[in-house]
Structure 1
Amino acid sequence: VSEHFDRKDFQTVATRASARMPPEKFFSDRQLVLDWISDNDIHLDYRANTAVVGEHHMKDLELTAIVEDGKLVLDEIRADMQGAQMKVTLELDARQRPYDIHYSYQLLGMQVARWLTENKVIQPLIGEVDIEVKLTGKGNSIREVVSHADGYAVMVIHRARIPRKARILLPTSVLMSVLRTINPFAKASPVYNIECGLIGFRIDDGKAFSDHTLALKAKEVTVLAAGTIDLATEEIAIAIRPKAREGLGISTVSLAGIYYRLGGTLAKPVVKAASERILKTGVTLGAAWLSSGLTVLAKGLFDRLGDKGDVCKNAAHRFDTLLDGTAFTLKPTVN
């Protein structure tokens, strides 16, 4: 039992310095050195009133770690993080190379106001964010593991006010870069008034795929997107379509048929407007910025934004279908 735990207390000066530098890659290619798992049998129950891991501040940390017969099992690490309940499980088989890893992460009810206040961004903010990730893969580094991983990742945003410049977590950072570019009111308002949002990816052999399961409904605009992220190269290829909300003083026609492409990498996402308008009649997606696979997805964005009902709820239904009926815990709040 500890009163306080801070990971940097166990890091070298060089490691601390490198952690402050912007990463060129999101996933580390540093080799995992886990020989100690095969050499020891350990049963550890650990508690800490407060814990700091990087930028993450946690309270009431509890974990049970068991090392036996060359296997490491972290059985439901639990903690309070910005008002949210965090649960993590990890199973790692160190008897073979590459390592066989099963990972699960869940964060329910992260309060936007508490997160941003603790990171020195003070605004009158509201809302919650939920995250769920499950991955299975093999590798001798994090990069190798995700490069051929299977599983899924989903984030749900519940009625939130988030500053335009805020960078909360990776998926939200990507989403904010999209909204910052395509929201016609982005420059006029310091915050986004998000009614609901869902970012859902199925992951097969290191490819994160969205079949119209990226959705966001803000006060001024609805956004729907589809595409892929190659976890091995970290390259992003996502087609995005905005649709102005009616009765807000903006011409719906001004956004009709306009697409954006989210490209770049996970560490450096870039949003670019399409080089030509894409019209509902005689749809042509010959622009070089779309691959053939992304073209098919982009065409579907026309009809998907015309779905009856809530765009977030519809995206959640499509995500459940994308997972072949595999149940995931998180559901968007629909009003």
Structure 2
Amino acid sequence: MARTLRWTGGVLLAIAAVVALAVGALQILGWNVLRGPIATVVTARTGRPFAIHGDLDVDLGLTLRVTARDLELGNPPWVDPKRPMLRMRELDLSLRLPQLLRGRVVLPRLMLDQPQVALLRRADGKTSWQLGSEEGGDGNNPPRIRELVIRDGQVELEDAIRGLNLQAAVSSSNRLDAPLGQQLRVTAEGRYNGQPFRLTARGGSLFALAERGTRYPVALDVRAGDTRITLKGSVGTDAAQTLDARLTVSGPDTAELYGLLGVVLPNSPPYSVSGQLRHAGNAVRFDDLSGKIGDSDLAGSMRFDTGGPRVRMTADLRSQRLDFDDLGSLLGAPPATGNGETASLEQKVQATQLAQEGRLLPDAPLHADRLRAMDADVRYLAASVDARTVPLKDVRVEVQLKDGVLRLSPASFSFPQGNLELWLTLDGTQDPAATDLDVRLSKVLMDQLTPQIDGVPALAGTLDGRASMAGRGNSVRDFAAHANGRMGLAMNGGRMSHLAVELVGLDVAEALGVLIGKDKPVDIRCAAGALALQDGQLRVKSMLIDTEDSLVIAGGGVDLATERLDLKLQTHSKDASLLSGQTPVTLSGPLRRPAVGIESKGLAARGAAALALGAVLTPVAAMLAFIDPGLAQDSDCAARLREAGAAAADAPPVR
């Protein structure tokens, strides 16, 4: 044993002698001889060229103090070699040797003097700040810094994905009694998507980050164009709760937040919302959310899970009062822009342009690539709806976004009686995006949808309808211009106010075979239509309005690409003595402002109704089954069709 101890002591003495000789040599030769070996190690660990161009100095002890001047760390090969990732006038750090021998890097103090940092991200997602090489470590054991001082730091960032280009100034102080903005301050200016960008961040002394179980104060103010994000709260120094802060976000359009926050949101009118933001681990919560979007209030909560291959958002949102005009923004259409309405300058310009061009369908682009950036499960409820002339009671929407495919299943709009439901599947994995749409209108009273004249509804009856279409396009207008599908409408019974008939004009009323009485409404036995949509061309297969004294049959269609209407209504009297010479009525021109006219040539031939019924009854009957199988058998309209069909079979041939 004694011999072993003597041998061990001899070895330690020899090691100590070697270390002493090495230290002595370094004291004589100077520490600069280590600049080359240090550069080799750092280059191997980071995969980037590294150099110390100035002096290197070391003060020995259990806590080493290292000072290095004029340092430079290069960028990856795809960046201009004349543009390093980091330049620094001086680095001054303290390093605890006992912790280093245990495999931990503890820096009691780190001072950076005039660091200049250049960060770049390409459009393909490759970043210049991703360090490491095959020989380097994995970065799972980062150094622990107890005190950090930054003097006159400069950061330049170019991000092609977010359209961000900025220059930032960074400085910090360790005065614990200094005001919040004087301990850590970051200011940045530049451009975001071509618009002015400004960021101001403030924090407490970075020395406080070394104290476990404390809260580190932070404040952030970001302005990108007309979008503003403010945050004020604290960051925890342990893993239990990283961030707890009040967040306020406002701007002209929620879709613009994608570049800033990476969150996929639909287009919207101007908005302002706030809530409590909490971040711990892979979970981000936005609770007590409240504010306004357009002229609608909004409340609820949102959750974000960042632990998977994509961010997953779940949201439960609600409005006490929804302004129906605001929903148009979801499709890229501008909201209402009249007095008292909330719309951004860009949306007002868009509304003016649509009006000048006589168009209804918006051509705002759909960014299908964003649908592949995250998953979502969102529920929304509006308890009451301000739709002006449309008496909606409530709106319910359920949205699922997964693997780039968005589904509405469904969006439901409730009336005092009846409802409208919309199913939508939008496949963002294709380019252009592929869309399937199914809209169903069930048992809605027309007197709820039409204005009253002298206290009498202009039109009454029960309306059912359905539209099913599919197509591809990266805007609503592009989709409509190439869509295929079919549509159908049916109104069981009903009546039109005699005053409403007078308002359309005596000549038009006579052309339609409508007898005008001073106080007698016009009874409508059945109104139905079947339309086919092919490559944006919506054509009438059959459409009829059956009154007590006439049968009105329509033909023509709508070009959705040009948004122009071309319809003709031909009337056939049931009694030869009543208005037997009606001329066709035309509806033509842009969908936004169609014109009603009377065709100057041609009269309806006596007996043509029998011939026409044979062509229109079959597709209309099939359309009733498409809307609702029960309509084809049980509705009054179906009975009227069977009755008209029997009469057509007994009618004499046309001569």
User: Shorter-chain TM-score: which interval?
Assistant: 0.7 to 0.9
State the partner residue of 2:535: 205
CA distance in 2, matches of 1:201, 1:151: 9
Higher alpha-carbon deviation: 150-159 or 221-230: 221-230
Letter in 2 for 1:123: V
Letter in 1 for 2:547: A
The CA deviation at 1:84 is: 1.2
Q: CA 1:4 to 1:236, structure 2 compared with 1: closer, same or farther past 3 Å?
A: closer
The CA deviation at 1:302 is: 5.5
1:164–1:180 contact (8 Å) kept in structure 2: no
State the partner residue of 2:566: 237
Question: Gapped runs of 5+ residues in structure 1?
Answer: 167-174, 282-299, 308-313
The CA deviation at 1:101 is: 0.8
Q: CA 1:99 to 1:36, structure 2 compared with 1: closer, same or farther past 3 Å?
A: same
State the partner residue of 2:366: 32
1:250 aligns with 2:574: no
Residue deviations 1:106-160 (CA, integer Å, cap 9, x gap)? 111111222336x898415642111211110111221111111111111111212
Please, which of 480, 483, 489 is the counterpart of residue 155 of structure 1? 489
Q: CA 1:58 to 1:121, structure 2 compared with 1: closer, same or farther past 3 Å?
A: farther
CA distance in 2, matches of 1:227, 1:315: 13
Q: CA 1:186 to 1:40, structure 2 compared with 1: closer, same or farther past 3 Å?
A: farther
Letter in 1 for 2:536: G
Please, which of 524, 536, 540 is the counterpart of residue 194 of structure 1? 524
State the partner residue of 1:42: 376
2:543–2:620 contact (8 Å) kept in structure 1: no
Letter in 2 for 1:202: A
Q: How is 1:271-282 mapped onto 2 (pairs within 5 angstroms)?
A: 271-278=596-603
Residue deviations 1:31-70 (CA, integer Å, cap 9, x gap)? 3345542222111122332234675443243222101111
Q: When the two structures are aligned, how many residues end up with a matched partner?
A: 296
Letter in 2 for 1:3: Q
The CA deviation at 1:274 is: 3.0
CA distance in 2, matches of 1:135, 1:246: 40
Q: CA 1:320 to 1:157, structure 2 compared with 1: closer, same or farther past 3 Å?
A: closer
Q: CA 1:86 to 1:7, structure 2 compared with 1: closer, same or farther past 3 Å?
A: closer
Residue deviations 1:178-230 (CA, integer Å, cap 9, x gap)? 9757235476568543221012201111111223x110012443201222322
Q: How is 1:45-84 mapped onto 2 (pairs within 5 angstroms)?
A: 45-52=379-386, 56-84=390-418
CA distance in 2, matches of 1:198, 1:95: 38
Letter in 2 for 1:208: L
**TM-score, normalization by structure 2:** 0.39
1:318 aligns with 2:651: no
The CA deviation at 1:72 is: 0.7
Q: CA 1:99 to 1:273, structure 2 compared with 1: closer, same or farther past 3 Å?
A: same
Q: The residue matched to 2:392 in structure 1 has which SS?
A: strand
1:3 aligns with 2:320: yes
Letter in 2 for 1:183: L
The CA deviation at 1:93 is: 1.3
2:440–2:627 contact (8 Å) kept in structure 1: no
Residue deviations 1:54-95 (CA, integer Å, cap 9, x gap)? 754432432221011111100122231241122110010123
Letter in 2 for 1:275: S
1:238–1:262 contact (8 Å) kept in structure 2: yes
Alpha-carbon RMSD = 3.9
Please, which of 541, 544, 552 is the counterpart of residue 223 of structure 1? 552
Higher alpha-carbon deviation: 12-21 or 47-56: 12-21
CA distance in 2, matches of 1:275, 1:179: 12
Higher alpha-carbon deviation: 84-93 or 272-281: 272-281
1:196–1:334 contact (8 Å) kept in structure 2: no
2:513–2:572 contact (8 Å) kept in structure 1: no
Q: The residue matched to 2:359 in structure 1 has which SS?
A: coil
Q: CA 1:302 to 1:196, structure 2 compared with 1: closer, same or farther past 3 Å?
A: closer
1:25–1:267 contact (8 Å) kept in structure 2: yes
Letter in 1 for 2:378: L
CA distance in 2, matches of 1:227, 1:58: 32
State the partner residue of 1:109: 443
CA distance in 1, matches of 2:448, 2:454: 10
Higher alpha-carbon deviation: 107-116 or 49-58: 49-58
CA distance in 1, matches of 2:585, 2:325: 40
Q: The residue matched to 2:450 in structure 1 has which SS?
A: helix
CA distance in 2, matches of 1:57, 1:35: 37
1:267 aligns with 2:592: yes
State the partner residue of 1:134: 468
1:138–1:149 contact (8 Å) kept in structure 2: yes
CA distance in 2, matches of 1:99, 1:148: 12
Q: Between the two proteins, what is the percent identity of the paired residues? A: 19
1:225–1:301 contact (8 Å) kept in structure 2: no
Q: CA 1:130 to 1:112, structure 2 compared with 1: closer, same or farther past 3 Å?
A: same
Q: The residue matched to 1:209 in structure 2 has which SS?
A: strand
The CA deviation at 1:250 is: 2.1
CA distance in 2, matches of 1:240, 1:98: 37
Letter in 2 for 1:108: S
The CA deviation at 1:305 is: 3.9
CA distance in 1, matches of 2:531, 2:444: 20
2:512–2:552 contact (8 Å) kept in structure 1: no
Higher gyration radius (CA): 2
State the partner residue of 1:284: none
Question: Gapped runs of 5+ residues in structure 2?
Answer: 1-317, 330-334, 336-341, 641-655
Q: The residue matched to 1:25 in structure 2 has which SS?
A: coil
2:510–2:579 contact (8 Å) kept in structure 1: no
1:63–1:77 contact (8 Å) kept in structure 2: yes
2:484–2:533 contact (8 Å) kept in structure 1: yes
CA distance in 1, matches of 2:410, 2:611: 38
Residue deviations 1:220-245 (CA, integer Å, cap 9, x gap)? 43201222322112233333310223
Q: The residue matched to 2:467 in structure 1 has which SS?
A: strand
Letter in 2 for 1:106: R
Q: CA 1:272 to 1:115, structure 2 compared with 1: closer, same or farther past 3 Å?
A: closer
2:498–2:517 contact (8 Å) kept in structure 1: no
1:39–1:70 contact (8 Å) kept in structure 2: yes
Q: The residue matched to 2:384 in structure 1 has which SS?
A: strand
Using CA pairs under 8 Å that are at least 6 residues apart, name the structure with larger relative contact order, 1 or 2: 1
